[in-house]
Amino acid sequence: MSRLSRLLKPRRLEKLLGNALRLAGPGAYAVVSGPEGELVRVGPAPEGLDPTSPPQGCQTRRVGRGGILVMGCGDAPDGDPSGLSALADLLGELLEDSLAREEVRRALADETLEQYREVALTQRATLEFNASMKLLDVVRSLLKEARNSKTPAKCGMVFIKSPERGLFMCFDSFGPLSKLRLRLITETRLFMDVMQQGKGEIVNDLTSDPRWAGELEEISALLILPLVSSGTVLGALVLAGMEEVEPFQSVHLKRMGTLTTVAGIAMANAIHFEQIQKILTALMQTMATTIDSRDRLTAGHSHRVARLAQGLMQVASADQTLLSDMQFTEADLQEIYYAGLLHDVGKIGVREEVLTKATRLPAPHLELIGLRLALWGQLNERDWEDTHAKLQRINRAYDLSVKDEAFLNALAREHLSVGGRTMQILSDDERDRLLTPRGNLTPEEWEEIKRHPAESHRILKNIPFTSYFPNLLTMIHQHHERLDGSGYPEGTQAKDIIAQSRMLAIVDIYDSLRRDRHYKKALSQDMALRILREEAAQGKLDKRLVEVFCSNVDKIERAVSLDTSLPSSRDVIQ
């Protein structure tokens, strides 16, 4: 379409010519043609009129680039009736003025539209690129926008600069060429020049550019843009044309420049966030290791619980049979990992002798009872060594039998008389401590242990990072709660216990059962799973989650062997 036909609309042009011809008298006519043919005919113009060779007496004027105005009058072909020449001059000027004004209007409209598109693109890109704080997600969003931007590109790639080595690595790409081959682009003088200058560049004929040595023969054209934030080059977006394609244009460079400007900021935020995450994870891992190391038998417990919980969450999210209502995100996986690391932080306030207590009575205390028994046996000519051995066994036992309780009560009634003084072989306090029905903690010591979830919550609640993870403190506070309300520290019941806390409770119990403790030996996997199912049947643990855990335990346990500084779902279960 010619400039004339694009800017002068026929209806408006007909009206203008009609009004003018009324001043020229009867028989006057006007024809306007452009480079592609006749545009408007008003009045009784001769058929087959050639604007480039009009009849004698007609007035012609050039209009715009390639346009012609022809005016004539059938009544007086050889003269100039009613000032036809002056009228043609006036119409010519009016048409030129209309063209100029319309061109300005169109230019302003095009500029406004382009600005709107630019703003819309910036807004959309800002929302999309900042939807995730993961660098890979930002890069993939940038490549998606580039792929859908109607450029001639057949390949696209994002290179990220390694701060340690200064090399550009192909982070992600689209198109038929492999990342390994695409990396050759970063070794060219062309790429290095663009990175050093910090400005985007288009090269549509690579074979004629001295900075290109044919490193990739499949590529014929390149658009290269640095990814910059705060003056620092983070990487580059490269779009490549292959074989016979339309050339890259300045509009492509401008549009991709808008995208890379927004992406550079989002990438810097993602890199910064991931660095903070690494530091945060390292600090939490160190904290967990420090807490666990207070007792050699719990070393690694928090790390294992973190991994097991993350593994259980992933299989729960993938399960479409028992747990179709449970869906979890990458952020949820990160959150439960952190909760697992920190769930026992509150044990820092538990006394060492309680935390590492291996028997109901300390060994020196049992030796003192042994001395009493030896003296009692000697004075009464009774065998005391078997009695002492039985006491030692009871002192180490996890559970007591009815016979054990009867034995302790009978022994507490025995007395020893020496030098006119009488004492019990086993004092009431010693008997009560040995009669602890399960484990080796007294009721007071057990209360001290039960405070650790609430203590963990108290220690962590003022740390700012928890605002990124809304359920982290709840998980830590609830990991010893049970669905029937028999747990601690609050006795919370099922309706108030979130799914993540239920998961943490399951894996915490499982890891404790599978490891040696001072008061018991490690159980086999089958026995540990049987206990979990029994607890679920009694209404203490979530039945569905227990079943999913038991069915996938081998797959989930493989997560424990993984040890990365920044875990994600891809690290856990494949």
Question: Quick check: 350 pLDDT over 90?
Answer: no
Average pLDDT over residues 532-537: 96
Task: Look at residue 571 and tell me whether its pLDDT is greater than 50.
Answer: no
Find all residues with CB under 8 Å of 530, minimum gap 6, and list them.
none
- The answer to whether 4 and 34 are in contact (CB under 8 A) is yes
- Structure confidence at residue 496 (pLDDT): 96
Q: What is the pLDDT of residue 79?
A: 47
Judged against a pLDDT cut of 50, whether residue 567 lies above it is answered with no
Structure tokens at 407: 């034995």
Numbered ranges of CATH 1.10.3210.10 in the chain: 295-352+448-572
pLDDT tens sequence across 290-320: 777 776 667 788 899 999 999 999 999 988 8
Mean pLDDT for 231-240 is 92
pLDDT in tens, 87-101: 888 888 888 888 888
Q: What's the confidence (pLDDT) of residue 81?
A: 53
DSSP structural state of residue 297: G
Segment 385-398 mean pLDDT:
85
Q: What are residue 424's DSSP bridge partners?
A: 415
Question: Which residues of the chain are in CATH 3.30.450.40 domains?
Answer: 130-274
Whether residue 78 is predicted with pLDDT greater than 60 in this model: the reply is no
- The residue with greater pLDDT, 106 or 77, is 106
Per CATH, which fold does 295-352+448-572 belong to?
Answer: Hypothetical protein af1432 (1.10.3210)
Q: Per-residue pLDDT averaged across 1-26, rounded?
A: 77
The label of the residue with tokens 């028997």 reads 359
| Residue 173 banded pLDDT, cuts 50, 70, 90 | very high
Mean pLDDT confidence for 552-565:
72
What is the pLDDT at residue 527?
Answer: 94
More confident residue, 434 or 110: 434
| Cα gap 415→220, rounded to integer Å | 103
Give me the pLDDT at residue 492, please: 95
Record the tokens describing residue 2, joined without a space. 């010619």
Kindly report, residue by residue over 502-523, the tens digit of the pLDDT.
Answer: 999 999 999 989 887 766 788 8
Q: What is the mean pLDDT of residues 440-447?
A: 81
Please state, in angstroms and as integers, the Cα–Cα distance from residue 256 to each residue in 122, 217, 250, 262, 485, following that order.
Answer: 11, 24, 10, 10, 59
Percent of the chain topping pLDDT 70: 91
At residue 125, the pLDDT reads 66
Is pLDDT above 50 for 424?
A: yes
- Cβ atoms of 146 and 239 within 8 Å: the answer is yes
Q: What is the model's pLDDT at position 563?
A: 47
Is the pLDDT confidence value at 268 over 70? yes
Could you give the CA distance from residue 445 to residue 356 in angstroms, rounded to a whole number?
11
Q: What's residue 574's pLDDT?
A: 35
C-alpha 143/C-alpha 141 separation (Å) is 5
**pLDDT higher than threshold 70 for residue 118:** no
**CA 66 to CA 36: how far, in whole Å?**
9
Highest mean pLDDT among 46-55, 290-299, 300-309, 364-373: 300-309
3-state SS class at 538: coil
pLDDT value at position 297? 65
Q: CA 363 to CA 467: how far, in whole Å?
A: 47
Percent of the chain with pLDDT over 90: 29
Q: For residue 573, what pLDDT is reported?
A: 40
Q: Which range (105-114, 294-303, 520-529) has the least confidence?
A: 105-114
127 Cβ neighbours under 8 A, 6+ residues apart: none
**What pLDDT is recorded for position 77?**
47
- Report residue 110's pLDDT band, with 50, 70 and 90 as the boundaries: low
Q: Cα dist. 72→18, 29, 57, 60, 259 in Å?
A: 13, 5, 7, 9, 57
pLDDT at 465: 65
25 pLDDT more than 90: no
Q: Which fold has domain 130-274?
A: Beta-Lactamase (3.30.450)
Give the dihedral of Cα atoms 142, 143, 147, 153; nearest 10 deg.
Answer: 120
> Pick the residue with more confidence: 447 or 465?
447
Residue 132 has pLDDT above 80, yes or no: no
- Report whether 69 contacts 91 (CB < 8 A): yes
Residue 31: what are its φ and ψ, rounded to 5°? -135, 130
pLDDT at residue 293, rounded to an integer: 75
CA distance 47 to 41: 10
Residues sharing a CB contact under 8 Å with residue 123, sequence separation 6 or more, in sequence order: none
Quick: pLDDT tens for 244-261. Answer: 778 999 888 988 888 898
